[in-house]
Amino acid sequence: MDSMYDAIGGEETFRKMVHGFYQRVRNDDIIGPMYPHDDWEGAEDRLRWFLAQYWGGPQTFNEQRGHPALRMRHAQFPVDGAAAQRWLDLMSESLDELEDLDPAHREAIWMHMERVAYMLINRYQ
């Protein structure tokens, strides 16, 4: 059985998804400042590696970075509800650009995105 990674188009699809997301992040007033402005390509690679690995693709993230440890890696950033929602909004727009993405696959990916975004909230009002 194919992995989700293979089913939705592998590297090319994940590259488009993550690139579209980061094009939006660069100019975003809430989450843009949290990203390393001197390492956009590195940030893009890391998210693409993570998502590809999660969905059954290459294990590049673990090989390059070790265990994902998402909460630990994001603890230094002020992720409140507004930041999590903005991250989701930008990712949703990027997913919408993937014209060949089957609705059932999009829904599965989206459910994962929501779970992770809300899990990373570390600031409360």
Q: With respect to residue 124, please indicate whether it lies within any of the assigned structural domains.
A: no
Domain count for the chain, please give it: 1
Domain range holding 94? 4-119
What stretches of the chain show up as alpha helix (H) in DSSP?
A: 4-7, 10-25, 40-54, 60-65, 70-74, 81-96, 103-119
The pTM (predicted TM-score) of the whole model is 0.91
Residue 75 lies in a domain: yes
pLDDT category, 67, cuts 50, 70, 90? confident
Residue with structure tokens 């899990």?
119
Q: For residue range 21-34, list pLDDT tens digits in order.
A: 999 999 999 999 99
pLDDT(1) > 80: no
- From the list 24, 30, 28, the residue with the least C-alpha distance to 44 is 24
What per-residue confidence (pLDDT) applies to 113? 96
> Which CATH number goes with the domain that contains 114?
1.10.490.10
Instruction: Enumerate residues 6+ apart whose C-beta is below 8 A from 94.
Output: 16, 17, 18, 20, 21, 24
CB 78 within 8 A of CB 67: no
